[in-house]
Structure 1
């Protein structure tokens, strides 16, 4: 079961942590990998302005399409999670007895948390779920879901532009590729560092994000991505 039972979202939570740090870092990583497969496919010795223009159109178009797809998938995943929570609450309410209802609650909780809970804790959760108004339990899209999906789209799409910007302002393709890769590497480091602040090892995770990103770009390019 998700961290909170799906409901109308609640205005007080609307603009707080729309996407968690892992989601934000993942979307930036995906967006950067895709745009870098385009920028690094450019032949720096033979590329003319027409080639650069085609690469820019391809990179922007790819991340635009992927941003939309990723946002839709995020929205669908959110709704599926809400539906699962609704189903869990329904099972708790229609259980044969209190013991069975507690068992359903226990099944829905993360395994790492369950050992710390007593029977009284499970009973308190059961009573809470049983007392929730039907309107709060019903799985339906919320403003928060829409904002989160929009956030996914913007992260994937907007991270395209810092990476392709050197190709817009520079006429030397080789120099533009070097500057573009430096910007992309810095963004990967920043995304990893931001995520690492929540895990206690920002520099280590930042370096890991850079390494993983560059490896995935090389792999995608080698496979014709």
Structure 2
């Protein structure tokens, strides 16, 4: 729960990137894992001169479909989250008892930060929310939501190409499969490195952890017949 007023909070939201670092990296990883799942099913492709081309189309088609689904779900999550915050603000405005409003704010705080706020601090937030006249009657989409959804779609789809391209440029299917998996692990390391650097958890450690997840996933796919 922020201590800024709704107006200043809206201004802050406009200055934020359409997708933050976690959103971008997670969506990219999701695209990689989805493509890896299809690439791992290479044995299911009938032998032939166009086997690599079929693999490329399978991975691309998978991520096009899932990228669209993920973009739609991003819009759903955004509207639900916005509606939940608006419901809290409107509840506080309708609440006659200040103590009840403070209690509602405290319940909305994450468990890790809730003990850090005194009732007096929450009361100042409650008073600001109770006096604001700028709250909309319902949660609505804004233009940046659709821009972000397009970004989600592109990140998921673009995660396909490093995994699928070897099947277009390498004729031997087994070699293309190895190259595809190596490229996937490299990209997973870069994604983990970025997450580790962003969170301060250790960039190299996070990068190798993401590789380990990729290796485990690949092994699972192979065990399942991939």
Report the TM range for the smaller structure's normalisation: 0.7 to 0.9
Corresponding position of 1:213: 214
Q: Is the 8 A contact 1:89 1:137 kept in 2?
A: no
Give unmatched runs, 5+ long, in structure 2. Answer: none
CA separation in 2, counterparts of 1:204 and 1:165? Answer: 28
Residue 31 (structure 1) shift: 1.0
Distance 1:119 1:37, change over 3 A: closer
Corresponding position of 2:89: 89
Tell me the matched-pair count.
225
Secondary structure at the counterpart of residue 165 of structure 2: helix
Q: How does 1:58-137 map to 2 (within 5 A)?
A: 58-136=58-136
CA separation in 2, counterparts of 1:51 and 1:138? Answer: 52
CA separation in 2, counterparts of 1:16 and 1:2? Answer: 15
Deviates more, 1:166-175 or 1:13-22: 13-22
Deviates more, 1:147-156 or 1:137-146: 137-146
Corresponding position of 1:202: 203
Aligned-CA RMSD value: 2.9
Corresponding position of 2:51: 51
Structure 1 runs of 4+ off > 6 angstroms?
1-7
Corresponding position of 1:148: 148
CA separation in 1, counterparts of 2:5 and 2:62? Answer: 36
Deviates more, 1:35-44 or 1:209-218: 35-44
Residue 114 (structure 1) shift: 2.1
Q: Is the 8 A contact 1:165 1:180 kept in 2?
A: yes
**TM-score of the pair, normalised by structure 2:** 0.87
Residue 223 (structure 1) shift: 4.1
Corresponding position of 1:32: 32
Q: Is the 8 A contact 2:52 2:171 kept in 1?
A: no
Q: Is the 8 A contact 1:185 1:210 kept in 2?
A: yes
Distance 1:6 1:23, change over 3 A: farther
Secondary structure at the counterpart of residue 171 of structure 1: coil
Residue 137 (structure 1) shift: 6.7
Give unmatched runs, 5+ long, in structure 1. Answer: none
Could you list the per-position Cα deviations for residues 136-183 of structure 1 after superposition, in whole angstroms to 9, with x for gaps in the alignment? 574111122112211211111011111111111121222212211111
Q: Is the 8 A contact 2:166 2:176 kept in 1?
A: yes
CA separation in 2, counterparts of 1:121 and 1:96? Answer: 18
**TM-score of the pair, normalised by structure 1:** 0.87
